[in-house]
Amino acid sequence: MARSLMHCLLGSLIAAGLALAAPVEEHHEKRAPQIASISNTLPLRKESYQQKEGSSPSSVFRNHRALNFNIAADDPEAAHNGKALAARNQIAYITDVKAGPGTYQLIIDTGSSDTWFVKKGFQCRNYRKQPIPLEQCMFGPEFQGDFPGGKIAGQRFSIAYGDGNGPYLQGEMGYSDMTVSGMTVPKQQIALATTGAWDGDGVTSGILGLGLPALTEAFNGTSDNAANLVTYDPFVTTVVKQDVPPIFSLALARESNRSFLSFGGVPPEAKTDGNWATTKILKPDGFVWNTPSGTNQTARSPMIIVDSGTTLNLLPYQIAQAINNAFVPRAALDSQMGGWFVPCDAKAPDLGVTIGGKTIWTNPSNMILPQVRHPITGECATGIGATNGFPYILGDTFMQELVSVFDISDKMELRFAKRTD
């Protein structure tokens, strides 16, 4: 399982440490190679929404049949709470994708590889797999008709999200021409979801997976065991085979009109300071943060994944707790909700992520989520959550106000630079 993950997530298992302290000037002996601006750029829209009571997040890291993903705490009540705060996917970045007879709005997700659409006639179910009204899955417009390029006989789509008790989808595999960012990819393999449990936003109709082949979720036959797993070329692999440079980039922001996705380079609209932090697939070095008294704390770090489909930074519990303790006033963990909350006007600590020897500072405004409120106190969720096992995630809280470059050539690198626009 770990081997598959390390080969599929766009080089997104990174060497990273965390620092919470006042930003300091750093000297860098050399910068990353120049990355060309590219015209294959499209704007992204930011969708915020509230989920149904008692639901699990739909844009969390995929359990890929074996990973056990529980959020929030060493506290068993929090670690196994089905609500899981729902904060991790309270924000989604979406884009238009043309496939078959129509154009649909999909969530962009660097943490998964399949591109799927909800098919007309979808059978909505709850997490106990009992039928419920379609409206409760809250999809956008359904994909009309069948696969324009033909259905793949004997092959099916099956994916589970979260801890195995959360959203899941099953469906069919087939082919369709796909147009994204002005680029048309002929006969792209996609999935049409026909049944499952989902917590939608009423706008989006599926997910545009930006991962590599090892995380595709197609199976031969009726069983989802590993022996029946079939890998195929997802969208980013197919794009590269059309002679587009093997790079794509995300420039995410708190404002919808400043968020972009580019294939083959970086968005010309997103300016950077030119100091690129570059890393290969490595084990992170560690975490460093300051306390309200001004002292620094450190901790060794596990593997971390950069995932645009997750809102929070999800870290080991002790590290997440220590960072949340650095808010002024200190953030409080609500075990029932599975997350930390602070007054919405609290002072967030300066969080730095050290990658390839360069510390990238998170904008403190990203650390408090005003759209995610405690149902009783009205306090805001923090941008730091916890999980009790691999993978740990740097989500949108980290990626906002950066240009994030995913180099899927033989280099398999991630590059980050601070935005100045």
What is the pLDDT, as a whole number, of residue 149? 96
Q: Is 316 inside a domain boundary?
A: yes
Q: Is 85 inside a domain boundary?
A: no
Q: Is 226 inside a domain boundary?
A: no
Q: Which residue has the tokens 């949108």?
A: 396
Q: Is 343 inside a domain boundary?
A: yes
Instruction: Round to whole Å and give the CA distance between 11 and 212.
Output: 10
Q: Is 202 inside a domain boundary?
A: no
**Is residue 201 flagged as an active site residue?**
no
Beta strands in 127-182 (DSSP E): 151-160, 168-180
What is the pLDDT, as a whole number, of residue 287? 47
Instruction: Round to whole Å and give the CA distance between 273 and 421.
Output: 9
The residues pairing with 197 across neighbouring beta strands, listed in sequence order, are 168
Q: Tokens in use for 152?
A: 């793949």
Task: Specify whether the CB–CB gap between 78 and 71 falls below 8 A.
Answer: yes
**Is residue 307 flagged as an active site residue?**
yes
Q: Is 54 inside a domain boundary?
A: no
Task: Specify whether the CB–CB gap between 106 and 207 falls below 8 A.
Answer: yes
Task: Specify whether the CB–CB gap between 81 and 72 falls below 8 A.
Answer: yes
**137 by DSSP, 3-state: which?**
helix
The residues pairing with 178 across neighbouring beta strands, listed in sequence order, are 99, 185
Query: In this structure, what CATH number is given to the domain that contains residue 295?
Result: 2.40.70.10
Q: How many helices (H) and strands (E) does the chain have?
A: 5, 30
Q: Is 25 inside a domain boundary?
A: yes
Q: What is the pLDDT along the chain (421 residues), one digit of tens a residue?
A: 222 232 333 334 454 555 555 443 333 334 444 555 555 776 787 776 544 443 333 233 233 222 223 333 344 333 333 234 433 445 788 999 999 889 999 999 888 899 999 999 999 999 888 999 999 999 999 999 999 999 999 999 999 876 556 789 999 999 999 999 778 999 999 999 999 999 888 999 999 999 888 889 999 988 888 889 999 999 999 998 988 899 899 999 887 789 999 998 888 888 988 888 888 754 444 444 555 555 555 444 556 788 888 888 888 888 899 999 999 999 999 887 878 999 999 999 988 888 877 888 888 888 999 888 888 999 999 999 887 766 688 888 889 999 999 998 888 888 999 999 8
Q: Is 289 inside a domain boundary?
A: yes
For 106-136, give one letter per residue: b (16+ CB within 10 A) or e.
Answer: bbbbbbbbbbbbbbeebebbebeeeeeeeee
What is the pLDDT, as a whole number, of residue 48? 64
**293 by DSSP, 3-state: which?**
coil
Task: Specify whether the CB–CB gap between 139 and 120 falls below 8 A.
Answer: no
Annotated catalytic residue within 114, 307, 350, 396: 307
Number of domains in the chain: 1
What is the pLDDT, as a whole number, of residue 39? 56
Task: Specify whether the CB–CB gap between 160 and 166 falls below 8 A.
Answer: yes
Q: What is the pTM for the complete model shown?
A: 0.78
**318 by DSSP, 3-state: which?**
helix
Task: Specify whether the CB–CB gap between 221 and 157 falls below 8 A.
Answer: no
Instruction: Round to whole Å and give the CA distance between 388 and 75.
Output: 10
Helix (H) or strand (E) holding 319: helix 317-325
Domain that holds residue 296: 2-37+264-418
What is the pLDDT, as a whole number, of residue 268? 87
CA-derived radius of gyration, the chain: 20
